[in-house]
Structure 1
Amino acid sequence: MKKVLTTLAVAAAMSSSVAFASTPVMFSSIDNFNAPDENAVGGVRVAALYGKVDELKGVDLAVIGLSETNNTTGVNFGIFGASKVNISMTGASFGFFNWNTGLTTGANFGAVNVTNDVKGANFSFVNYSEGNTLFDLGAANLSETSTVQVGVFNKTAKIEGVQIGLINCADNGFFKCFPIVNFAK
């Protein structure tokens, strides 16, 4: 598994650094400190305590703290840290806390995932989405609209597929709340 993730990260970093002009390696920290002083990374960025850039294509490592971007294409790793993506994330986020307020295309793996729209999957203890999700797997899954939710407690305003879990609640479900399985009327 480590070899696969490393290979994916290196491939993303190498292919993305050719795609646009940016710095290939960056260190970020508090007070908007970026070394080098750029706003785009096409390679690898390490953020300690807090770091922010507009565009990241490659690998983003959050080491103790929050790493924030507007657009990310690649892989976020939260090593005792969290990642926040404001507009779009394409790829995968691995961390304790993944916070994506725009569109996510890919997967989020964490203890807590807070998302907006996810074209892909959320895997976490708690998955909370203010928009649409395709697939949520966790102890608690909460969303506005979802296609599939699998967990102990599942809650959505609109289920488009199925909920499987101990307690399944959907405003448009064949029952508002039902054990084991629930789906749209």
Structure 2
Amino acid sequence: MKKRLVAVAFAASVASSFACAQTPVMFSSINLNAPHDNVVHGVRLAVLHGKVSEVKGVDFSLIGMSESDRTTGANFSIAFGANKINKEMTGVSLGWFNWNTGKATGANLGLANITHDVNGLNWSAVNYSTGTTVADVGLVSLSNKSTVQVGIFNKTKHIDAVQVGLVNCADNGFFKCFPIVNFPK
């Protein structure tokens, strides 16, 4: 009887914590969020394409794209997954392809990063940013404005500190294009 009472109390406690909390666990796929919610505070797995408004916690994408407007925490791509943030990300995105059209604070680590404004690190084979970045590390880094770029080919309209690589091009650079190192005038 005691074991049964403990089991019922435990089940009621777990059920009430899930009922009172926001969605702690979600599965997303094309036109499906289970449970049906737009905000996740916990863990989400997206297969093919999953979209929500907000993720606070860990977001996994498996063979497809995990998309959210705002993410605080970590995005992980598994088996050809991709991460897309539409407005704001704070944390880390680790994936084959990271696509951030808003503002990111933290790090984007992957094979390719397409970003807008990054207050942190872009580290991938190809970094492409339409806005401002603090640090780009990769084989090819292209940005509108950057503080530091390190790679084989670096190109920006405006460099704030330094570019280090085989070819470094900056519209405001000491030289428009220069090997090994370039810095602002």
TM-score normalised over the length of structure 1:
0.88
- What is the CA–CA distance in structure 1 between the aligned matches of 2:51 and 2:113, rounded to whole Å? 19
| Structure 1 residue 180 corresponds to structure 2 residue 183 | no
Letter in 1 for 2:112: V
- What is the CA–CA distance in structure 2 between the aligned matches of 1:161 and 1:78, rounded to whole Å? 32
> Any runs of at least 4 consecutive aligned residues in structure 1 with deviations exceeding 6 A, and if so which?
none
- % identical aligned pairs: 66
Q: Give 2:124's aligned residue.
A: 124
Q: Give 2:46's aligned residue.
A: 47
Q: Give 1:136's aligned residue.
A: 136
Q: Give 1:75's aligned residue.
A: 74
Q: Where does structure 2 lack aligned partners over 5 or more consecutive residues?
A: 1-16
Count of residues in Structure 1 that have an aligned counterpart in Structure 2: 166
In our comparison, the structure showing a higher alpha carbon Rg is 2
Matches within 5 A, 1:22-33: 22-30=22-30, 32-33=31-32
- What is the CA–CA distance in structure 2 between the aligned matches of 1:167 and 1:107, rounded to whole Å? 24
Alignment deviations for residues 43-76 of structure 1 (CA, whole Å, 9 cap, x no partner): 0000000000001000000000000000000000
- What is the CA–CA distance in structure 2 between the aligned matches of 1:83 and 1:135, rounded to whole Å? 20
Letter in 1 for 2:94: F
Partner secondary structure for residue 102 of structure 2: strand
* TM-aligned CA deviation for residue 133 of structure 1: 0.3
Q: Give 2:58's aligned residue.
A: 59
Alignment deviations for residues 140-160 of structure 1 (CA, whole Å, 9 cap, x no partner): 000000000000000000000
RMSD, matched Cα: 1.2
* TM-aligned CA deviation for residue 22 of structure 1: 2.0
Alignment deviations for residues 69-105 of structure 1 (CA, whole Å, 9 cap, x no partner): 0000000001120000000000000000000000000
- What is the CA–CA distance in structure 2 between the aligned matches of 1:95 and 1:24, rounded to whole Å? 22
Letter in 1 for 2:34: A
- What is the CA–CA distance in structure 2 between the aligned matches of 1:114 and 1:95, rounded to whole Å? 12
- What is the CA–CA distance in structure 1 between the aligned matches of 2:21 and 2:171, rounded to whole Å? 48
Alignment deviations for residues 81-132 of structure 1 (CA, whole Å, 9 cap, x no partner): 0000000000000000000000000001000000000000011000000000
Partner secondary structure for residue 174 of structure 1: coil
- What is the CA–CA distance in structure 2 between the aligned matches of 1:50 and 1:100, rounded to whole Å? 16
TM-score normalised over the length of structure 2:
0.88
Partner secondary structure for residue 116 of structure 2: strand
Partner secondary structure for residue 101 of structure 2: strand
- What is the CA–CA distance in structure 1 between the aligned matches of 2:51 and 2:21, rounded to whole Å? 18
Q: Give 2:100's aligned residue.
A: 100
- What is the CA–CA distance in structure 2 between the aligned matches of 1:52 and 1:115, rounded to whole Å? 18
